[in-house]
Structure 1
Amino acid sequence: MEERTDMPSDPTAVDPYGCGCTECLTGEYIPLERATEVHIADMLAGRLRNHTGTTFHLTADYTIEPNTTLPELTPERLTITCPDHELTWTLATPRHRPLEDHHRAGPSLEYSDGSARVVPRHRLPS
């Protein structure tokens, strides 16, 4: 079978589970069951449109070391689940970023070297 060269390199949206529309077949969109951690991170960050029509649950895992306070904590990983279809994605997060930075500026999901991670958005000085 000949490889198609007219397919987009990256999808622009995550479609519902089991979708077989033209956009999913051509690679413009990706059905939920084929979405990787990077696709899910991009969808949660707003870089991919969410056409899934489903609810996602987000769980953050923290390790609390002695003499650590809540504002100093950063989640070690985020687990995103789609209970309707029993799907789970786990995103690693950078270490040593205070929780207050996440709350103040809002988290931004990004990826580098193919691994998804959460980094805080930094506000520009006013």
Structure 2
Amino acid sequence: MALISSKGMYGLSAMYELSLIESDKPTQIKDISERASVPQNYLEQLLVVLKRADLITSVRGAHGGYFLARSASDIMIKDILIALEGNLSVVDSDIQNPVLKMFYDESNKKLEDIFNIPLSKLGEYEEILRGQIHYVI
């Protein structure tokens, strides 16, 4: 049982790749697609949703592309996932039992807290990963 669909995973991957770009020029969709390993046709649909959620901005034209709408430290991962998934929840049906409802409500709050970190925090995982990989020459 996956709580986050491929839509959420691909969208977060694209947002992460955008956060790594240090250029003041917009990034073209083909470059985001390659870097994030997201099919370009699917990425186009995701970027529309992310733009509607004010998480990215775009520039039209031959030299156009996409930017994060604000700093990666100001964009929460939960906001990206909520924009793409609609919500973050353990269950998405009406719970009649009051004890279970309370349990699931608490679980949903904890789930939201887990993803309430800035996009920029993903860079720390990359640093950890780099420290664990040893190349033999």
Q: Specify the TM-score bucket, using the shorter chain as the normaliser.
A: under 0.3
By relative contact order (CA 8 Å, sep 6+), the higher-ranking structure is: 2
Could you say which structure has the higher helix fraction? 2
Could you say which structure has the higher strand fraction? 1
With normalisation by structure 1, the TM-score equals 0.26
